[in-house]
Structure 1
Amino acid sequence: MLSVHGFGCNVFSVDIGADRIVCGGEEGVVRVWNFSEALEIEKRVRALRSVRLENRMRRRKAQIEINGNGGKGDQCSVAAKRNQLNADRNGVWHSKRGVSGKLKA
């Protein structure tokens, strides 16, 4: 079922053409929707959804390859940091997901 939005009152008459929808309602107003533009917008929306899904699948595949086990492994951020106490530049930053080794700067 298709809903046409834009009328505050009841719609009495609807005509659907090849590229337009014309409606007349209780308000005494005739409204014309350009159907071809709506179809073009819908095509763009579907294309964007497809691109987003493709990117999501590509990221998921890369993550699986990196982890090697097919699941969510320990992922963490490693960064060189300066230890304020002994000026040691070797350090580990722990992320919420896991722990990693040291990175030499």
Structure 2
Amino acid sequence: MDNERIEELFQSLGSVSIRKLFGGKGIYSDGVIVAIVLRGELMLKADEQSAGDFEAAGCVQWTYTGSRHGKLVSMPYWSVPDSAFDDPDEMAMWARRAYEAGRRAGK
């Protein structure tokens, strides 16, 4: 996903910064990480308070198998509902949830 598309998707948050992260990209609003792009997939920040909303919308949480212990590790990032990519108002709602989760994580 190119930076222009990322900026378009997150325009509701105002200006975002995009930095290299985990071999992908980290997306920040006001210094708060709100999303990542990993292996071409956009994933939004979630937490205990918002994860249920992502799950209810059919989103998938980022998980991987740890190389040292072989156990499944769950990360606080979730896929974006497909419909949000074509609906700026819906994407704004999800972006706001991701921003709020990022702010809570920083406290």
TM-score range, shorter chain: under 0.3
What is the TM-score with the length of structure 1 in the denominator? 0.25
Higher RCO (C-alpha 8 Å, min separation 6): 2
Higher strand content, 1 or 2: 2
What is the TM-score with the length of structure 2 in the denominator? 0.24
Larger radius of gyration: 1
